[in-house]
Amino acid sequence: MQELTIHNLRQIDQYRWLVPRQGKMRTDGMLFLDRKLLEHVKNDKSITQVANVAWLPGIVGRSLAMPDMHQGYGFPIGGVAAFDPDEGVVSPGGVGYDINCGVRLLRSSLVKDEIKDEIANLVNSLFSNIPSGVGSRQPHLKLNKKELKKVLATGAQWAVKNGFGSQDDLLHIEESGCLGWADPEAVSERALDRGQAQLGTLGSGNHFVEVGYVDTIFEEKIAKGIGLFKGQVTVIIHTGSRGLGHQVCGDNIRLLQNTSRKYHFDLPDRELCCAPVHSDEGMQYLAAMAAAANFAFANRQLITDEVRRTFEQVFGLGAQKMGLQLVYDVCHNIAKYETHEVDGKQREVVVHRKGATRAFPAHHPKVPAAYQETGQPVLIPGDMGRYSYVLVGTDRALKETFGSTCHGAGRLMSRHAAKKAAKGHNVTAELAELGVTVRGAGRATLIEEIPQAYKDVEDVVRVVHEAGLARKVARLRPLGVIKG
């Protein structure tokens, strides 16, 4: 397909841009952007990628992109698409390499002033207790393969069963922390080898643990309903399925590149390799992807347990007394069976969210009981120097985006460009001037993750709020961050 630019778009309103169906596209595309964010993507291939996704067989509704969109592998980061299980396909490019990269939020009964003098100690202790960085391994928990397969089958439920958290945690995780169709036998030996010692580790890149506080409340009633108040200390955990998930993706991309030829798919980009959902290859990928997703759920659960232990160590109080409770845990990179209204009828579809977050409204049957009146909490982290947001899902998102919204700020610079921009800067000292204590596995990680490398998450959140895809509830500011 001819590369699409902003000149090929049709503006629907201030926050919606149509990518009109053309050529072999089976449907339109829709971008949720304002003019400022549109400028950020005019020089990458993400608009073309939205159109390319619309070529795929069995796509239902539009090919979508959220306001944090940027160029990715196959699908754009921020891409959302749903497929009919009988006529459609599943594509690893619609999930990504870091399967079930996701984010969870802990709230506490502590307030900012109670911990400000211990931030450096707390950050150093978290960094010491949570293995971080490329290839990081958990020295205290190397599972044999039989036990690892139990993790892949049951996710966060395995973690709770083995003493890493409580049943209450499971009530506050998307899909209760387990995709039930996972099959550990669909995961390669190489993937198992890579994951064996990585449960409970943070990894590298944009993954982090952040201690912060609630600095602004936008909707008092909803904030109260999800347990947030101004000045409250919070913890955000952002990580995924580590080397195991990366291997699962790589294994299945190689498998499905051959499959695409087998089924004579006419694809505009080989990165969109795919298989019919109900084919042997499609079911193999979905089973392995779900197993990797379960690993990620368990991984975040173990890190949560370590966060609680570290707070106890630093403050000399029990986790319950500090009120360190899980608010919610959402997936960013996932493909799942969900039921949505399509053309006036309820239908099961396979929703791909790649760098996008589920955002279901109040009273939706998939929203936990605790949030039936508020809607599902939606967690949107920013960069380590500014702020993050808590929102809730809406009915409009359910109608327009299969209940999806953005997942973060979205990169503005490549890692290489960030390194050039950070040359001569002392990132740690500059963040300290902003009131943020940071520890990273290496200087390279910190300079790749400078705040300037990301869009301002406030711009992204404003679009989803004004477009009606989620409602702003609270803003969080960082006090201390550990990075991989």
- Report which of 255, 233, 267 is spatially closest to residue 54, judged by C-alpha positions: 267
User: For position 453, what pLDDT does the model report?
Assistant: 84
Q: Is the pLDDT of residue 283 over 90?
A: yes
State the chain's maximal CA–CA distance in angstroms: 64
User: For position 187, what pLDDT does the model report?
Assistant: 98
386 vs 204 pLDDT, higher one: 386
Q: Is the pLDDT of residue 282 over 80?
A: yes
Question: Taking a C-beta distance cutoff of 8 angstroms, is the pair 352, 79 a contact?
Answer: yes
User: For position 1, what pLDDT does the model report?
Assistant: 55
Q: Is the pLDDT of residue 271 over 80?
A: yes
User: For position 142, what pLDDT does the model report?
Assistant: 75
Q: Is the pLDDT of residue 243 over 80?
A: yes
Could you count the other beta carbons within 10 Å of the beta carbon of residue 323? 15
User: For position 7, what pLDDT does the model report?
Assistant: 63
CB neighbour class for 135 (10 Å; exposed up to 12, middle 13-18, buried from 19): middle
pLDDT tens, residue by residue, 55-74: 999 999 999 999 999 999 99
Q: Is the pLDDT of residue 303 over 60?
A: yes
How many whole angstroms separate alpha carbon 72 and alpha carbon 285? Answer: 20
pLDDT tens, residue by residue, 349-408: 999 999 999 999 999 999 999 999 999 999 999 988 899 999 999 999 999 999 999 999
Which helix (H) or strand (E) segment holds residue 464: the answer is: helix 457-466
User: For position 5, what pLDDT does the model report?
Assistant: 64
User: For position 325, what pLDDT does the model report?
Assistant: 97
* 3-state DSSP helix/strand/coil % of the chain, to nearest 5: 35, 25, 35
User: For position 137, what pLDDT does the model report?
Assistant: 66
How many whole angstroms separate alpha carbon 122 and alpha carbon 112? Answer: 13
Tell me 370's DSSP state.
G
What does the mean pLDDT of the chain come to?
94
Q: What's the average model confidence in pLDDT over 292-299?
A: 98
Q: Please, what's the b/e burial string for 176-201 (b: 16 or more CB within 10 A of its CB; e: otherwise)?
A: bbbbeebbbebbeeebbebbbbbbbb
| Reported confidence tier of residue 233, pLDDT bands at 50, 70, 90 | very high
How many whole angstroms separate alpha carbon 381 and alpha carbon 476? Answer: 9
Percent of the chain at pLDDT exceeding 70: 97
Q: Is the pLDDT of residue 2 over 60?
A: no
Q: What's the average model confidence in pLDDT over 30-47?
A: 95
First to last CA, the chain: 38
Q: Is the pLDDT of residue 449 over 90?
A: no
User: For position 438, what pLDDT does the model report?
Assistant: 92
Q: Which two tokens stand for residue 385?
A: 């120097």
Question: Taking a C-beta distance cutoff of 8 angstroms, is the pair 27, 61 a contact?
Answer: yes
How many whole angstroms separate alpha carbon 143 and alpha carbon 185? Answer: 16
Q: Please, what's the b/e burial string for 144-161 (b: 16 or more CB within 10 A of its CB; e: otherwise)?
A: eeeebbbbbbbbbbbbbe
pLDDT tens, residue by residue, 318-343: 888 999 999 999 999 999 999 999 98
How many whole angstroms separate alpha carbon 368 and alpha carbon 373? Answer: 10
- Report which of 41, 23, 28 is spatially closest to residue 410, judged by C-alpha positions: 41
CA of 402: how far to CAs of 323, 397, 420, in Å?
34, 6, 39
pLDDT tens, residue by residue, 124-164: 999 999 988 666 667 677 789 999 999 999 999 999 999 99
The residue extents of the domains of the chain are: 6-133+201-241+316-483
Residue with tokens 């943070």: 202
Residue with tokens 């050529």: 23
Q: What's the average model confidence in pLDDT over 16-40?
A: 96
Q: Which two tokens stand for residue 391?
A: 């929102």
User: For position 411, what pLDDT does the model report?
Assistant: 84
**Catalytic pick among 238, 340, 407, 465:** 407
Residue 340 annotated as catalytic:
no
Mention every residue, 6+ apart, whose C-beta is less than 8 A from residue 41.
33, 47, 69, 70, 71
| Residue 437, beta-bridge partner list | 480
4 vs 221 pLDDT, higher one: 221
- Report which of 423, 407, 416, 408 is spatially closest to residue 454, judged by C-alpha positions: 408
How many whole angstroms separate alpha carbon 3 and alpha carbon 52? Answer: 10
CATH of 6-133+201-241+316-483, one of 2.30.110.10, 3.90.1860.10, 3.40.50.300, 3.30.70.270: 3.90.1860.10
Question: Taking a C-beta distance cutoff of 8 angstroms, is the pair 328, 172 a contact?
Answer: yes
